[in-house]
Amino acid sequence: MSNPLADMDKPDVIFCIGTNMTECHPVAATRLKRALARGAKMIVADPRRIGLAEIADVHLPLRVGSDVSLLLAMAHVIAREGLVDEGFMARRTAHGEDFLKHVERYTPEWAAEICECSPEDIEKAALLYGGADRGAIYYTVGVTEHICGVDNVQSLCNLALLTGNLGREGTGVNPMRGQNNIQGAGDAGALPNNYPGFQTVTDPAHREKFHKAYGRKVDLEVGMTKVTALDLCGDGIHAMMINGENTLVTDPDRHHCEHALKSLDCLIVIDIFMTDTARVADVVLPATAWAETDGVCTNTERRVQRLRAAVPPPGDAKPDWWIVSRLAQRMGWKGFEFESAKEVFNELCSLSSTYAGLDWDRIDRGEYQWPVPEVGHPGTPRLHEERFENGRGIFKMLDYRDPEETLSEEYPVWLTTGRRLPQYHTRTQTGRAAGIDYLLSEETLEVHPDDIVRLGLEDGGWAEMSNPRGCLHVKVRATSKSPRGTVFASFAFEDVPVNVLTGGGYDPVTQTAALKACPVALKPVGPPPALAGVGPQSGLGRL
Amino acid sequence: MKRNGTPSTNGKGVRLMMTLDGEKVAFTRGETIYEVAERHRKDIPTLCYDPRLEPFGGCRLCVVELEGARNPVASCTTEARPGMAVRTRTAALEVQRRILMEMVASENRDTDVDPMHGYASQEMAELLDRYDARTGRFEGARSGESRDDDDNPFIKRDYDNCISCYRCVRVCAEQEGDYAISIANRGFHTQITTEFGGLLKDSACTFCGQCIQTCPTGALGDLKALANRDVPGETKKTRTICPYCGVGCAVDVMTREEKIVGVLPAMDGPANEGSLCVKGQFAFDFVGHPERLSTPFLRDEKSGALRPASWDEALDFAAGKLRKVVKDHGRRAVYGIASGRAPHEAAYMMQRFIRAGLGTNHIDNCSRA
């Protein structure tokens, strides 16, 4: 996030897009609700009538994957109505004139044809955000998990640059990170293009710095992304070490993924449960879990916080850092003689530009938000206050692109996926927590009542959902939360593995999978034989 | 809401001052008498007060004497004003507070509740002791009916122990923005309820547990923690961060001996300021689950099945396999995927393994899917 969580109750106008915050980041959403109670206005762009949409002033039920068109039209209206922050654009941005010219042709009427929102609502949303003194944008993977994920984010940045909604209290462009330490994994250098602290691997100076620290010269060439690596399994990539990820279930196109992992000569999985991914490994190494591990995590607002062990781990389970460093020692490599999490974290800080002012003891109370470039620096709750890191904020001239796969006669319905409040990811954790099943014990496909009729389905009955990549059976639930023509399911339950269907393309820059827009066919089927005459299943036994 | 307590001025550079128990003290514009007194550690008793919520003035325990006022005033709802003279603890106030506590006690079936009920669950019992108010003087009618019919596994709804402070109602509305809890009737017939008086599951409740944590009497309780009330040992609290989404809510994990018995929200957590969701509050017991991996496994060359192994054996086996891949296909044939769920040290060590060990950048994390 560019701005701290504490800023979330301060905007006049909140613009949420592709974020089902009340279910996926419920505590952050409470701050938005408090802002609304104080009189803030909210625009919610999401295909589904999610919880946030219910309390929004404007809900834009855009067609999945059409974000760029909507955002271009909003920029068009803001420019046309003179809601541009000219001072900010002159002082802080580049290519603003070009951008104003660029958006002239993207009228709300043009966008409405693509994003299926009414031109009036697009106007209304643009006037609200453009007219705000403090306008804040919040987004999640509903924006990024598309073939145009980067374009979507840059379109949001364009809006913020146009209206000067960056670098001030209650503003910003704020991604909500979905996992407790997904921010930290990137910070710590687990990226193919960056060393710790986002120092690019292609810069010889960075290579020199890490050569000195690690005693080995690292390639100047950017590594493969995980997506490419999975594509090349058995054909260039022959060994993988996977830490704490149930790749088979969470990644798109499960059949492809399963084939990939099985064609490796060596798969090492480090995890806390025997996940589906662990089951196909050559070696499974047991890790300590949350509340058993001392360590550090960084949240969505870049706050660096301590994790503390409260109970001993089961049996021989060990911290991940111990496992990987001991394996390195068995490989005969020097420099892996770490004895504590503190020692590991302090080495990370000593090599990271963003954590340079931090160490294990200094983060004890969680008061720092990176960057903390030197000792004594107070941290940076709000980014871009005085200047942008790279000088000026650059407007990007973007155009709308269709998703890689679009609707056809054969596959006439959009499937979009996501999470539900009580369950987390593939339920390896929440599925084993007592009571959670009381709130949600099975997956259902959310279908608009009109589509139920149109497709010959039955509320509470079963449907076969398929596309060229796969096929699954799922129980149907009629709800107007889904728009007509779009159905929704989560990927939490193993018996509804929606990721056998997803995987229609990737963002060309980040290689993020298009998990949110997937054409499918639906037809009614009978209940699965195992379930005929049986009540709701828990699926727990098969986790 | 809590103000920062930095003294402010009247606009002409003169600090705003009032008298508190005979002492001149400075205050901030907008601060209540209660907030000023709390900064000066006056320890005024309250039952309906939660610093995160708007002042309510329901329990009347926080009454103070205000010079010039005919009757004591509720300090939580009265703003401090320049020149005010306030007494927080006089004999008359203490008598009034004791009577109020005796009346509170008379409403409830239980006056002592297990601390496993929740964060604030001991507030009433502590005040009953402080005012020696378990006299049974007003024994008689009680308000609130328990909802034993609510079969939810998280929130105990024992309204026999409710004193109608409305903290649950207010935290649900003001802090959570869910408005799931409401009030039916008045006086002795007051009942904390939900829309249509049904089960929590059928209401707007999201099971975040905030009502449990603010309840001062144990009328509401954390059923998962209460299930562990008989686990022996002292309860120890360990400050850590919730393991689920990226908001980074601070929690205090409660343990007895070597078992997690419950989770409390950290009121001073910088990201959450006391809030949690259903997962952070209740979904902690995957940790001690019997299906946890407790030993390494390796794939038996003969049977092709995974079998338990020692660390020595498993690490040698893994290193041997990796070395063979490097020998057969080169160092670029090895790939590492770090976790967004494990701490920094895990991700850092994974990238160090790949970079320092193999000299490549074939490392990523799970953020692309």
DSSP secondary structure, B11-24, as one string: SSSPBPEEEETTEE
Which residues, in sequence order, are CB contacts of A163 under 8 Å at separation 6+? A78, A83, A84, A85, A88, A129, A130, A132, A135
Do A283 and B318 count as a contact with CB atoms less than 8 A apart?
Answer: yes
Compare all CA atoms of chain A with the CA of B285 and give the residue at the minimum distance: A433
Query: From CA B100, how far away is CA A514, in angstroms rounded?
Result: 62
In a domain, residue B285? The reply is yes
* Residue A430 phi, psi dihedral angles, 5° rounding: -65, -30
Domain end, chosen from A132, A150, A176, is at: A176
Lowest-pLDDT choice from A133-147, A241-255, A299-313, B331-345? A241-255
A284: which chain B residues are within 8 Å (Cβ-Cβ)?
293, 296-298, 306
Instruction: Report the percent of chain B where pLDDT is more than 70.
Output: 97
Between A119-131 and A108-115, two packed helices, what is the crossing angle to 10 degrees? 120
Q: Structure tokens of A315?
A: 């049996």
Instruction: Please tell me whether residues A172 and A187 are part of one structural domain.
Output: no
Per-residue model confidence (pLDDT) at position B7: 64
Q: What is the mean pLDDT of residues B56-69?
A: 95
By the CB < 8 Å criterion, does A197 face chain B?
no
Domain end, chosen from A176, A207, A235, is at: A176
Portion 342-371 of A in contact with B at CB < 8 A: 344-345, 347-348, 366-367
Among A285, A299, A438, the residue with its CB nearest the CB of B153 is: A438
CATH number at A532 reads 2.40.40.20
Instruction: Please tell me whether residues B219 and B142 are part of one structural domain.
Output: yes
Domain end, chosen from B205, B227, B249, is at: B227
**A494 falls in which pLDDT band (50, 70, 90)?**
confident
In a domain, residue B151? The reply is yes
CATH number at A241 reads 3.40.50.740
In a domain, residue A379? The reply is no
Q: What's the domain range around A15?
A: 5-176
Per-residue pLDDT tens digits for A271-314 = 999 999 999 999 999 999 999 999 999 999 999 999 999 999 99
Chain B: give the shortest CA distance to residue A149, in Å: 11
Portion 76-135 of A in contact with B at CB < 8 A: none
Where is pLDDT greater, at A387 or A81?
Answer: A81
| Pairing outcome for strands A266-271 and A283-286 | parallel
Domain end, chosen from B227, B247, B268, is at: B227
In a domain, residue B103? The reply is no
In a domain, residue A366? The reply is no
Instruction: Please tell me whether residues B270 and B347 are part of one structural domain.
Output: no
Instruction: Please tell me whether residues A26 and A60 are part of one structural domain.
Output: yes
Per-residue pLDDT tens digits for B187-205 = 888 899 998 899 999 999 9
Per-residue model confidence (pLDDT) at position B173: 96
Q: Is the ipTM of this complex over 0.90?
A: yes
Instruction: Please tell me whether residues B129 and B206 are part of one structural domain.
Output: yes
Q: Structure tokens of A29?
A: 């959403």
| CA A298 centroid distance within chain | 15
Q: What is the mean pLDDT of residues A37-66?
A: 97
By the CB < 8 Å criterion, does A180 face chain B?
yes
CB-based contact A439:A475 (threshold 8 Å): no
Per-residue model confidence (pLDDT) at position A538: 36
Instruction: Please tell me whether residues B149 and B223 are part of one structural domain.
Output: yes
DSSP secondary structure, A362-405, as one string: TTTT---BS---STT----SSTTSS-BTTBSEEP--------SS
- Residue B101's nearest CA partner among B142, B38, B46, B23 is B46
In a domain, residue A464? The reply is yes
A251: which chain B residues are within 8 Å (Cβ-Cβ)?
369
Per-residue model confidence (pLDDT) at position B196: 87
In a domain, residue B98? The reply is no
Instruction: Please tell me whether residues A39 and A162 are part of one structural domain.
Output: yes
- Residue B363's nearest CA partner among B340, B345, B336, B341 is B336
Q: Structure tokens of B1?
A: 């809401």
Instruction: Please tell me whether residues B73 and B183 are part of one structural domain.
Output: no
Q: State the DSSP H helix or E strand holding residue A464, giving kind and residue range, or none if neither.
A: strand A462-467
In a domain, residue B271? The reply is yes
The answer on pLDDT for B220 being more than 90 is: yes
Instruction: Please tell me whether residues A193 and A149 are part of one structural domain.
Output: no
Q: What is the mean pLDDT of residues A121-131?
A: 98
Per-residue model confidence (pLDDT) at position B83: 95
Instruction: Report the percent of chain A where pLDDT is more than 90.
Output: 91
CATH number at B151 reads 3.30.70.20
Instruction: Please tell me whether residues B286 and B314 are part of one structural domain.
Output: no
Instruction: Please tell me whether residues B245 and B301 are part of one structural domain.
Output: no
Per-residue pLDDT tens digits for A172-206 = 999 999 999 999 999 999 999 999 999 999 999 99
In a domain, residue A224? The reply is yes
CATH number at A145 reads 3.40.228.10
Per-residue model confidence (pLDDT) at position A75: 98
Where is pLDDT greater, at B136 or A313?
Answer: A313
Inter-chain CB pairs, A–B, below 8 Å: 496
In a domain, residue B186? The reply is yes
Instruction: Please tell me whether residues B134 and B220 are part of one structural domain.
Output: yes
Per-residue pLDDT tens digits for A60-71 = 999 999 999 999
Per-residue model confidence (pLDDT) at position B348: 98
Per-residue model confidence (pLDDT) at position A532: 46
Do A185 and B359 count as a contact with CB atoms less than 8 A apart?
Answer: no
Between A108-115 and A67-80, two packed helices, what is the crossing angle to 10 degrees? 160
Instruction: Please tell me whether residues A186 and A332 are part of one structural domain.
Output: yes
Q: State the DSSP H helix or E strand holding residue A207, giving kind and residue range, or none if neither.
A: helix A204-214
Instruction: Please tell me whether residues A244 and A119 are part of one structural domain.
Output: no
pTM: 0.94
Give chain A's mean pLDDT: 95
Instruction: Please tell me whether residues B221 and B236 are part of one structural domain.
Output: no
Portion 261-280 of A in contact with B at CB < 8 A: 265-266, 268, 271-274, 278-279
The count of structural domains within chain A is: 3
In a domain, residue B210? The reply is yes
Instruction: Please tell me whether residues A163 and A207 are part of one structural domain.
Output: no
What number of other Cβ atoms are within 10 A of residue A215's Cβ?
A: 11
Which residues, in sequence order, are CB contacts of A268 under 8 Å at separation 6+? A239, A240, A241, A242, A281, A282, A283, A285, A327, B318, B321, B322
In a domain, residue A358? The reply is no
The count of structural domains within chain B is: 4
Instruction: Please tell me whether residues A220 and A149 are part of one structural domain.
Output: no
In a domain, residue A389? The reply is no
Per-residue pLDDT tens digits for B283-342 = 999 999 999 999 999 999 999 999 999 999 999 999 999 999 999 999 999 999 999 999
Instruction: Please tell me whether residues B209 and B122 are part of one structural domain.
Output: yes
Domain end, chosen from A351, A369, A388, is at: A351
Where is pLDDT greater, at A427 or A114?
Answer: A114
Q: Structure tokens of A26?
A: 């419920």
What number of other Cβ atoms are within 10 A of residue B236's Cβ?
A: 14
Per-residue pLDDT tens digits for A440-471 = 999 999 999 999 999 999 999 999 999 999 99
Between A320-330 and A341-351, two packed helices, what is the crossing angle to 10 degrees? 80
Instruction: Give the DSSP letter of residue B72.
Output: -
Do A421 and B206 count as a contact with CB atoms less than 8 A apart?
Answer: yes
Do B346 and A366 count as a contact with CB atoms less than 8 A apart?
Answer: no
* β-sheet bridge partners, residue B18: B25
The answer on pLDDT for A418 being more than 50 is: yes
* β-sheet bridge partners, residue A194: A200
CB-based contact A406:A64 (threshold 8 Å): no
Do B348 and A196 count as a contact with CB atoms less than 8 A apart?
Answer: yes
Per-residue model confidence (pLDDT) at position A533: 42
In a domain, residue B38? The reply is yes
The answer on pLDDT for A534 being more than 60 is: no
Q: What's the domain range around B247?
A: 232-292
Query: From CA A111, how far away is CA A69, in angstroms rounded?
Result: 5
Do A282 and B321 count as a contact with CB atoms less than 8 A apart?
Answer: yes
Instruction: Please tell me whether residues A84 and A204 are part of one structural domain.
Output: no
Instruction: Give the DSSP letter of residue A519.
Output: E
Instruction: Please tell me whether residues B304 and B244 are part of one structural domain.
Output: no
Domain end, chosen from B292, B324, B343, is at: B292
Query: From CA A213, how far away is CA A347, in angstroms rounded?
Result: 9
**A530 falls in which pLDDT band (50, 70, 90)?**
low
Per-residue model confidence (pLDDT) at position B145: 83
Which residues, in sequence order, are CB contacts of A453 under 8 Å at separation 6+? none
Instruction: Please tell me whether residues B149 and B219 are part of one structural domain.
Output: yes
Buried b (16+ CB within 10 A) or exposed e, A49-82: bbbbbebbebbbbbbbbbbbbbbbbbbbbbbbee
Give chain B's mean pLDDT: 94
**B141 falls in which pLDDT band (50, 70, 90)?**
confident
